[in-house]
Amino acid sequence: MLSFQVDGALTSGGQARTAVAGAESNVAVGLARLGHHVGWAGRLGADEPGRMILRTLRGEGVHVDHATTDPDAPTGSLMRERRVADLARVHYWRAGSAASRMQPPHVKSALAAGARLLHLTGITCALGPGPLESVRTAAGYAAEHGWTVSFDVNHRTRLWDTAAASAALRPLLGLIDIVIASDDELPLIAGEPGTPEHDRVAELLARGVREVVVKRGAQGADLYLRADQGVHTPAHPVPVADTVGAGDAFCAGYLSGVLDELSPEQRLHRATRTAAFAVATPGDWEGLPHRDELSLLDAAPGATVR
């Protein structure tokens, strides 16, 4: 999407800058910076915002050969207003966008190109029937061909309500290997109202999910490979500049650890460290680290690395 970042309230004349935003593209940039071969497949308008997005992703080393454009629909957009201290408000203009008109044939060439891992999010599913069916098609193809399928629930209440999200996302579970969700998103994909988190995790694992990763913000994250045994990693303490994009950064770090075949503890450590870079830097993805920068957080606060 094209993102307008407004410093203050728009109605009071807040100044805006343009940027590129999107959960999957944020993860793609994060993985590319960590040294992985990454491709992004989506649908954009045949317009200036679409060209800006493609140029930005190419510049970050993300392959966009299989991105498609729609000559009859615009690229989606959002506006993020910084309203009160560090509280931000996001407005979406995605109805009728090129992405909302995506259909399974639009991802066919990307799937045919092959991959080790396919990353999907609930945001695409929320854009309409075509995008949801495209996600189902991609997940089915990946599962059939032995790829690892990761899925970040990434619920957006301004795009759809919890009932619609739950009805759409739960049928995907038989195709997903890694579920990533914040603790308040787990009820969307497992259990009934009042079900304890332990039982929701157990249900996901029983339905074929291999790894359940629960993001807890400033409290860190937990990884469950078995319902009765979790691995916890605290968040890396950094000054908070902007929390938007932190979840996507976490996903990038975690999936990088999966691709590098790190241990569960090491995967979580890389995930929380990558998220810390995002939290400490303004912007959705601009502060994401390159692989050789991960160790910068080992330096003392305020230090200068020479």
Q: Which two tokens stand for residue 188?
A: 């969307």
Number of H helices, E strands in the chain: 10, 12
CA 151/CA 212 separation, integer angstroms: 10
Q: How much of the chain is in helix, strand and coil states, percent to nearest 5? A: 40, 20, 35
- Interatomic CA distance for residues 285 and 266, integer angstroms: 22
The CA distance from 101 to 171, in Å, is 22
Residue 16 token pair: 């805006």
Rounded to an integer, what distance in angstroms lies between the CA atom of residue 12 and that of residue 81? 11
Q: Which of 70, 248, 260, 292 is catalytic?
A: 248
Tokens of 149: 């399928």
In whole angstroms, give the CA distance from residue 155 to residue 167.
13
Tell me if 187 sits within 8 A of 200, measured CB to CB: yes
Distances 17 to 14, 81, 83 between C-alpha atoms, Å: 10, 11, 16
Q: DSSP labels for 189-204?
A: HSS-TT--HHHHHHHH
- 97 and 78 in contact (C-beta within 8 Å)? no
Does the annotation count 260 as an active-site position? no
Token readout for 137 is: 């098609």
CA distances 295 to 121, 166, 254, 262, 271, Å, are 29, 39, 16, 16, 13
Residue 256 parent element (H or E): helix 246-259
List, by residue number, the catalytic residues: 248
